[in-house]
Amino acid sequence: MHGLSTIPRLPEAAQTPIGAEVYRGLTARPKTLSPWLFYDQEGSRLFEAITELPEYYLTRTERAIFAQNADGIIAAASDRELTVIELGAGTATKTGLLLEAAVRAQQTVDYLAIDVSHSALAEAKQRIETQIPGVRVASRVGDYTEGIEEIHAAGKSRLVLYIGSSIGNFEPSDAVQVLREVRRRLSPGDNLLLGADRVKDRDVLLNAYDDQAGVTAAFNMNVLTRINRELCANFNPRLFRHRARWNDDHSRIEMHLESLIAQHVVIPSLELEVKFARGETIHTENSYKFNDRDVAWMVERAGFAITTSWTDERQWFGVHLATAV
Ligand code: AVJ
């Protein structure tokens, strides 16, 4: 007779979303962590600070495109009444320009904001409701897949906003998959507004992800602090450094956390010990940069056709309206 049979099972923490992701990513070769882990309360605050950095041109450039073209974008999106749904809304600071244009066109507009960050959504709802009368704001906490489910109930002619180059976090095949999920919830004639950062000078790109003030470094490092707090790990952030790299083959900026020494990190709640060689990295983010051709390929494979694209004078950022076919 054997003793009591032991049913092998993962520790409880490994069954939470963060536990599962950290377990997967830190046992993978090479080590990776998904960028959604950035966005705890501190990470969301740091991201907001990034959007105001001189080097981080993305947010202000996309905002300038909206400021110049909001009425045109809304007019192109539908001749019927619009419901606006935003994926990865964050604090939705740029969205206001589009919502104001929608209110000019149709007096009132329903706006559904979806994001993983509860605190960011609360701020968005509060600000938009007080600053733009005529907008009825609903919000949902969820990741992209969960969020997309909500589109079903949203009604009328739908305009899905997926702006800020959030799509750039996905590998191209996953990006197509995400857009297909969106498309599946839409009817022909509904629209997608996609913001996608464009390929440009390498140093401009690198500086945007490795700023002088070190805010992006703090944003990247915050993942370790979050894992320490939520999974009782013992990462020493001083023993890692932020790295940004341009990967020309894949047309993407990569962010990594590089171990400065050979070391072990213990994550008791996952019953995991993670070994790092000196110079080994955790790959924490991809930020793809697109040519118009790449964008067209991506949206077409997902069942959309681009109807209009807008850019800035330097052609640094692209805003694309795509109709569900
Ligand atoms: C929010 C995914 C668009 O890739 O530029 C900013 C996140 N990472 N600085 C980006 C980010 C480092 C950002 N996105």
What digits encode the pLDDT tens for the residues 16-55? 999 999 999 999 999 999 999 998 989 989 999 999 999 9
- Is 90 exceeded by the pLDDT of residue 154? no
Tell me how far the alpha carbon of residue 219 lies from the centroid of ligand 1, in angstroms: 10
State the first-to-last Cα distance of the chain, in angstroms, to the nearest integer.
65
- Residue pair 286/168 in contact by the 8 Å Cβ criterion: yes
**What was the pLDDT predicted at 243?**
98
* Residue with CA at minimum distance from ligand 1 atom 14: 166
Instruction: Report the residue among 34, 45, 46, 47 best suited for mutation to probe ligand 1: largest number of ligand atoms under 8 A from its CB.
Output: 47
* Residue with CA at minimum distance from ligand 1 atom 2: 166
* Residue with CA at minimum distance from ligand 1 atom 10: 287
- Is 80 exceeded by the pLDDT of residue 219? yes
**Percentage of the chain modeled with pLDDT above 70:** 95
Most confident listed range (114-118, 161-165, 187-191): 161-165
- Residue pair 320/295 in contact by the 8 Å Cβ criterion: yes
- Residues 300-311 have pLDDT tens digits of 999 999 999 999
- Residue pair 185/151 in contact by the 8 Å Cβ criterion: yes
**Percentage of the chain modeled with pLDDT above 90:** 83
**What was the pLDDT predicted at 10?**
78
- Is 90 exceeded by the pLDDT of residue 13? no
- Give the residue-averaged pLDDT of 199-221: 98
**What was the pLDDT predicted at 116?**
80
Tell me how far the alpha carbon of residue 156 lies from the centroid of ligand 1, in angstroms: 32
Check the CA dihedral 217-218-219-222 and report its sign.
positive
169 Cβ inside 6 Å of ligand 1: yes
**Strand (E) or helix (H) holding 269:** none
- Residue pair 319/74 in contact by the 8 Å Cβ criterion: no
Per-position DSSP letters for 139-208, written without gaps between them: EEE--HHHHHHGGGGG-SEEEEEE-TTGGGGS-HHHHHHHHHHHHHTS-TT-EEEEEEEBP--HHHHHHH
- Is 70 exceeded by the pLDDT of residue 273? yes
276 Cβ inside 6 Å of ligand 1: no
50 Cβ inside 6 Å of ligand 1: yes
- Residue pair 168/289 in contact by the 8 Å Cβ criterion: yes
- Which atom from ligand 1 is nearest to the alpha carbon of 253? 4
Residue 292 contacts by C-beta under 8 Å, 6 or more apart in sequence?
Answer: 309, 318
| Residue predicted with more confidence, 90 or 74 | 74
Residue 276 contacts by C-beta under 8 Å, 6 or more apart in sequence?
Answer: 259, 261, 262, 263, 264, 265
Tell me how far the alpha carbon of residue 164 lies from the centroid of ligand 1, in angstroms: 8
Average pLDDT score over the chain:
93
- Give the residue-averaged pLDDT of 221-230: 98
**Coil vs helix vs strand at 311:** strand
- Is 60 exceeded by the pLDDT of residue 95? yes
Tell me how far the alpha carbon of residue 105 lies from the centroid of ligand 1, in angstroms: 32
**What was the pLDDT predicted at 150?**
58
Tell me how far the alpha carbon of residue 58 lies from the centroid of ligand 1, in angstroms: 9
Instruction: Report the residue among 287, 317, 319 best suited for mutation to probe ligand 1: largest number of ligand atoms under 8 A from its CB.
Output: 287
287 Cβ inside 6 Å of ligand 1: yes
**86 token code pair:** 């935003």
**What was the pLDDT predicted at 4?**
63
Residue 250's pLDDT band (cuts 50, 70, 90): very high
- Which atom from ligand 1 is nearest to the alpha carbon of 208? 9
Residue 92's pLDDT band (cuts 50, 70, 90): confident
288 Cβ inside 6 Å of ligand 1: no
- Which atom from ligand 1 is nearest to the alpha carbon of 164? 3
Tell me how far the alpha carbon of residue 287 lies from the centroid of ligand 1, in angstroms: 7
57-71, 145-159, 190-204, 262-276: segment of lowest average pLDDT: 145-159
Burial of 174 (0-12, 13-18, 19+ CB in 10 A): exposed
Residue 28 contacts by C-beta under 8 Å, 6 or more apart in sequence?
Answer: none
- Is 60 exceeded by the pLDDT of residue 1? no
